[in-house]
Amino acid sequence: QAHVRDAAGVVRDVPAESVKVGDLLLVRPGELVPCDGVIVEGRSHVDASAITGEPLAVPVTVGSTVLSGSSNVDGPLTMKATAIAGESQYLRIVELVRNAQGSKAPLQRIADRAAVWFTPVTLIICAVTYAITRDTDRVLSVLMVATPCPLILATPIAIIGGINRCARRQIIIRTGGAMEALANVTTAVFDKTGTLTRGQPAVERVHTLNGFDEHSVLRLAAAVDFGSGHQLARPLVKHAESLLGTLPVATEVSEVPGRGISGLVDGSLVRVGSLTWLREMLPAAASGQLDTLDGSGDGLRAYVSVGDVPVGTIEFADSLRDGLPGFFRDLGTLGITRTVMLSGDHTSNVALVAQELGITDARGDLLPEDKVSIVREFQAKGERVVMIGDGTNDAPALSTAEVGIALAGHGGGITAEAADVVLLVDEISRVADALRASKDTMRIAKQSIGVGLGLSAVGMVFAALGYLTPTMGALGQEVIDVAVILNALRAASGRR
């Protein structure tokens, strides 16, 4: 739904599909932007990470462009629609997903490959047996023992077991074909924001001024921010509590959405907010010191003042997930020979993360269609690609890859729909678990097919030589089928 404001200022709810170019729309805090547009009134922060890959919400004001599917964080906004819903960025991404799903090459299943030669071989043995012996009983014995059940039963039973094994780890494998394809991937392509990083801001560093130390700045800022709903308030308070324990109580707290918050702490007026807001609130004499803080870093920052004096700035960044070095080592042991990072975030941020993780092929400033093109480049070189992502902007590439894995805790919606594998928990290590389960499953399936067909082949030879009657052949067939089923069931337990 969209909230359309008419010329008289009356707001009415209409379906997003009925919004016309030029309509004025109200977007309340916590709501999604219904279509592409430009801000005409209000200030806020907008989280477009699912669409663009930028990790942190960005400040928006009059004249700022916003994309459909973005989330308004902390202040009411009035925007003018610049595109109808069907032409918005979000719908373009959905169309890319549909195109990718429609052009995906069909998977050749392992049982299909084996069936190509099994039936002709059986018929040849029958023909040779009859040509030499003219004994129809021997031919019948060959047919009785020539069971196709290893082909029919081994792979489905093993795959069902593997899917159940993954489900116990909260990994949803949507099709048996995805399980087969996952066992054969060679290239892992990762999104950055929310996939390799947490997708949430965390305190990176604190810069101080005027005799205040880091702990004092954190203590005062967190006290004022304790009850705020701003995207930076929670990580700030969490970080301060982990370092300092109990925080003082702020009184007379007043928040200006999209700009800042103030309150009394230990009798002093503390302000936490944007650089622009503090310039407006503090005397002109503080301008030079604010300029010093403004040059202290490139991350998203909250500026802090006590009374009329700036005392510091708190810089935030999107932090890496824990355990990534070990995770990448596991991928190397599971057949992944190339690791790539693709992101819509700025190239400079992507390069920093890639350097820290040791990823040599990392690309930034990518649109969703750029990610699709890169995945197809790898496929054209004969590489089998697994794409791992969490955002809406990853959905087309997830559909294009041989296997797409979505972290549903972040993206959901179109992202989960586009993926072949969905992780229900926000743990990147489950990707390695899924790879391991797929390889174990397909190894057991191939083993079951090989053993079953091998025993059938031996039985056919013995039947052709006259050592097996049709009844004995039928019994032998059942023994082979039971053996194949029992072996395939091992895939559910994960036992090797």
At 488 the pLDDT is 79
At 108 the pLDDT is 46
Instruction: Provide the pLDDT confidence category of residue 484 given band limits of 50, 70 and 90.
Output: confident
Mean pLDDT of 417-434: 90
Q: pLDDT, tens digit, for every residue of 238-247?
A: 999 999 988 9
- Of the residues 263, 287, 318, which one is the last residue of a structural domain? 318
For residues 163 and 279, state if they share a domain.
no
Between residues 83 and 96, the one the model is more confident about: 83
Task: Give the domain range for residue 170.
Answer: 110-196+323-485
Strand arrangement of the beta sheet that strand 300-306 belongs to: 197-208, 309-320, 300-306, 268-273, 260-265, 251-256
CATH number, domain of 307, equals: 3.40.1110.10
Is residue 69 pLDDT above 60, yes or no?
yes
Show the beta-strand stretches assigned E in 168-217.
171-173, 187-191, 197-208
Instruction: Provide the pLDDT confidence category of residue 6 given band limits of 50, 70 and 90.
Output: confident
CATH number, domain of 40, equals: 2.70.150.10
Q: Does residue 117 lie within any of the structural domains?
A: yes
At 117 the pLDDT is 75
Rounded CA separation 395/400 (Å)? 9
For residues 52 and 116, state if they share a domain.
no
Q: Which of 10-14, 20-24, 47-51, 383-387 has the highest mean pLDDT?
A: 383-387
CA atoms lying within 13 Å on the CB side of residue 130 = 12
At 412 the pLDDT is 54
Q: pLDDT, tens digit, for every residue of 254-306?
A: 988 778 899 999 999 999 988 888 888 988 878 888 877 765 445 578 899 99
Predicted TM-score (pTM) of this structure: 0.74
For residues 232 and 286, state if they share a domain.
yes
For residues 356 and 283, state if they share a domain.
no
Between residues 72 and 96, the one the model is more confident about: 72
At 410 the pLDDT is 54
Instruction: Provide the pLDDT confidence category of residue 407 given band limits of 50, 70 and 90.
Output: confident
| Catalytic residue positions, numbered | 191
Between residues 54 and 251, the one the model is more confident about: 251
Selection from 75, 74, 77, 56 nearest residue 66 by Cα = 77
